[in-house]
Amino acid sequence: MKIAILGAGAWGTALAINLSTNHQVTLWTRDQNQLAELVALRVNQRYLPDLFLPDSLKLTSELNLAIKNAEFVLIAVPVSGLRELLQKISAIDKTLPIILGCKGFETQSSLLPHQIVHEVYSKTAPCGILSGPSFAQEVAQGLPTALTLASDDNKFFRDIIRAIHTACLRIYSSNDVIGVETGGAIKNVIAIATGISDGLKLGNNARAALITRGLAEITRLGVALGGCRETFMGLAGIGDLILTCTGDMSRNRQVGMMLAAGQLLPDILQKIGHVAEGVHTAREAERMSRHFKIEMPVTQGVCSIIYEEVPAEIVVKKILEREPKTEFDR
């Protein structure tokens, strides 16, 4: 297939490398300096410095050239840049199927990525969500990975799944767009909390408890938004959550560990050099928890540490001192 991947960060580059094995892929970046480096070195020095770009992979900073002959567009930019990019695609006057590889809620509007597509781009163009436990480095290396592609348009995306599914990039289908998106968004917040716990050396028991109770928060919000409960037991739910909370390559976990060490958020984000979506998602998730009147104490604790600069030790103590609860929501 002819595929346009928009966004040359770690995830977009990894997917471009992986999919170039069997497809005609064009990778787009808006940054002219980055494009010049990619063309000259055939390496994404900032995000995947140890991996070469295949000779077959086309590179461009011209959006119209990237999507001109594409059969579908895979967007791998941060949620904060999604609306602007979709507006630019709309201006080209070519309606294409969209696969979203971004995770989180839009700041202020609290919209999920597919909702931004419907608002800005098209309510009728096929739109899918690609999510699941996947570090970019391993996807680029061709290591075994399983993902979920969720869409309301099952017929169209069934064909795409057949095309991009391989032994090392297994794609499972779902029609629960909201559930898959919510799982991919909130797991980043829980990963920050787990990083804080690990940074404070609270132990493996605490980590397991945080992941489990974090899953309960993800499920509560996801169901409130209209997602299916079983989705959170799958790849886009607990699978992605476990990876992001425990893997050393997790940016959000790194943020949590640095917060536990007393470092300031601006300094942390500068050191990481990548987008940590959980930082922005935490505030939107906390806002929605109030709107739906659901309990999300871990998420609220992360917000207190990030936005109110409450010491991590105090937040942890407050969570631990909560009244006993029944384990499952009724």
Q: Concatenated DSSP letters for 252-278?
A: HHHHHHHHHTT--HHHHHHHH-S--HH
Q: In which domain, by residue range, is 89 found?
A: 2-175
**Could you tell me if residue 330 is inside a domain?**
no
How many CA within 13 A on the CB side of residue 113? Answer: 34
Q: Are residues 113 and 198 in the same domain?
A: no
The pair of three-digit structure tokens given for residue 172, joined into one six-digit string: 């499972």
Residue 292 burial (CB count, 10 A): 13
In the annotation, is 187 catalytic? Answer: yes
Tell me how far the alpha carbon of residue 41 is from its chain's centroid: 27
Asked whether residue 208 is assigned to any structural domain, the reply reads yes
Residue 330's pLDDT is what?
58
Known binding residue 4? Answer is no
Q: Match 């949620």 to its residue by tokens.
A: 79
- 192 with 166, same domain: the answer is no
Tokens of 98: 């969209």
- Annotated binding residue at 321? no
Nearest to 129 by CA among 109, 110, 153, 148: 148
Residues 20, 44, single domain; the answer is yes
Q: Are residues 127 and 202 in the same domain?
A: no
Exposure string of 73-100, with b = 16+ CB inside 10 Å and e = fewer, is bbbbbbbeebbebbeebeeeeeebbbbb
Task: Note whether residue 269 is domain-resident.
Answer: yes
With respect to residue 314, please indicate whether it lies within any of the assigned structural domains. yes
Q: 11 a known binding residue?
A: yes
Beta bridge partner(s), residue 268: none
306 with 245, same domain: the answer is yes
For residues 47 and 156, membership in a common domain is answered with yes
**Catalytic-role residue among 94, 155, 187, 325:** 187
- Does 252 count as an annotated binding residue? yes
Is 79 contained in some domain? yes
- Tell me: do 116 and 195 sit in the same domain: no
SS (H, E, C) 177-238: HHHHHHHHHHHHHHHHHHHHHHHCCCCHHHHHHHHHHHHHHHHHHHHHHCCCHHHHHCHHHH
Residue 35 lies in a domain: yes
Q: How far apart are CA 167 and CA 169, in angstroms?
A: 6
Residue 141 sits in the same domain as residue 252 = no
Of 155, 175, 195, which residue sits at a domain end? 175
Query: Do 27 and 46 fall into the same domain?
Result: yes
Domain tally for the chain? Answer: 2
Paired residues of 171 in beta bridges? 147
The residues that bridge with 131 in the sheet, in sequence order, are 148
CA-based nearest residue to 304, from 265, 275, 254: 265
Q: Is 25 annotated as a binding residue?
A: no
The sheet with strand 169-174 has its strands ordered as 58-60, 24-28, 2-6, 72-75, 98-100, 127-131, 145-151, 169-174
* 199 and 149 housed in the same domain: no
The answer to whether residue 91 is domain-embedded is: yes
pLDDT tens for the chain, 330 residues long, are 999 999 999 999 999 999 999 999 999 999 999 999 999 999 999 999 999 999 999 999 999 999 999 999 999 999 999 999 999 999 997 789 999 999 999 998 999 999 999 999 988 899 999 999 999 999 999 999 999 999 988 787 899 999 999 999 999 999 999 999 999 999 999 999 999 999 999 999 999 999 999 999 999 999 999 999 999 999 999 999 999 999 999 999 999 999 999 999 999 999 987 778 999 999 999 999 999 999 999 999 999 999 999 999 999 999 989 989 899 875
The CATH number of the domain holding residue 89 is 3.40.50.720
Regarding whether 119 and 41 lie in a shared domain, the answer is yes
pLDDT score of 274: 74
Q: How many Å apart are CA 148 and CA 150, to the nearest integer?
A: 6
The residues pairing with 99 across neighbouring beta strands, listed in sequence order, are 74, 128
- Tell me, what CATH number does 248's domain have? 1.10.1040.10
Handedness of CA 64, 70, 71, 77 (dihedral sign): negative
Q: Is residue 327 part of a domain?
A: no
> Do 37 and 12 fall into the same domain?
yes
pLDDT score for 94: 79
- Residue 9, annotated ligand binder? yes
Q: Measured in whole angstroms, how far is the alpha carbon of residue 284 from the centre of its chain?
A: 15
| Closest to 178 measured CA to CA, from 157, 148, 134 | 148
